[in-house]
Amino acid sequence: MSARILVIEDNPANLELMTYLLEAYGYSPEVATDGEKGLAAARRERPDLIICDIQLPGASGFDVARQIKADPALATVPLVAVTAFAMVGDREKVLAGGFDRYIPKPIDPETFVVQVEESLRQTSQAVRVSPPLKTGSDISSTVGSRSTVLATILVVDNSPVNLDLTRSTLEPLGYEVIAVSRIAEALDQARCAIPDLILSDVNMTEGDGFEFLRQ
C-alpha cells in the first residue's frame, strides 16, 4: 500500500493543487481544512506523513505541531510545514515550532512531491508504489536522448496556473506541450502544428470549449 499522507490546509486552491500532485504519484491523501479537524484526522488515521499549513482557522499550524509531537502515537510522524512565511528567520521559527521540514508557498509542482518523499524517507513505515519522480537532471538526460517527443499536446486554458501545472506535469514525461490561453490562438496552433491531443478548458473568458470544439 502507498504511504498515508494527511494534508491540513484551509485554502481551497492550495489544497486542490497539493492533493492533485500527490494523487498523480499514487497517493490517496486524507485532507482536513482546519487545525482541529487535522488533529482529529491524525489521531484517527495515524498517517505516515502530515503536511500542514501554518495559518489555519482555530488551532494554528504551531498548535497542531505542538499537540502532534506531544502525542506518543504520533510524535515520530514527519511533520511538514507549508507556508507563505518568507521573512528572515521564519524557516528557523517553523523548525523550532516542531516541524521537521519547511516547504514555501507558492507550491512548485515540479519539486513538491520530491520534497514530500524526502520527508517520507524519515519513517520506515512509508512504502512507495508509484515510480520515482524524475529530477531535473534525469529529465534533461532522458528527454535529450530522444530523437522525437512522445506526442504533441495542445493545452487551451485561460488560467496561467493551470497551464503551468499541465506543462510541468507533461513535459518531464517526454511530451511537447503547446500552451495557449485564447481560442483564436488555439485554432491557429491546431491548424499549424496538428497536435496528437488537445486538452481544453470549457469555461474561458473569450468563448468556451464547446465553441472551440465546433470550430
Work out the number of other CB atoms within 10 angstroms of the CB of residue 204.
19
Question: What residues contact residue 133 under an 8 Å CB cut-off, 6+ apart?
Answer: 25, 113, 114, 117
Q: What is the pTM of this model?
A: 0.58
pLDDT tens-digit readout, 80-102:
999 876 555 667 888 888 898 88
Q: Lowest-confidence range among 11-25, 33-47, 49-63, 123-137?
A: 123-137
Work out the number of other CB atoms within 10 angstroms of the CB of residue 62.
20
- Over residues 138-152, mean pLDDT: 54
Largest CA distance in the chain: 62
The DSSP element (H or E) to which 45 belongs, if any, is helix 35-45
pLDDT tens-digit readout, 29-59:
999 999 999 999 999 999 999 999 998 988 8
Beta strands 49-53 and 101-104 are unpaired
pLDDT tens-digit readout, 162-181:
888 888 788 877 888 898 88
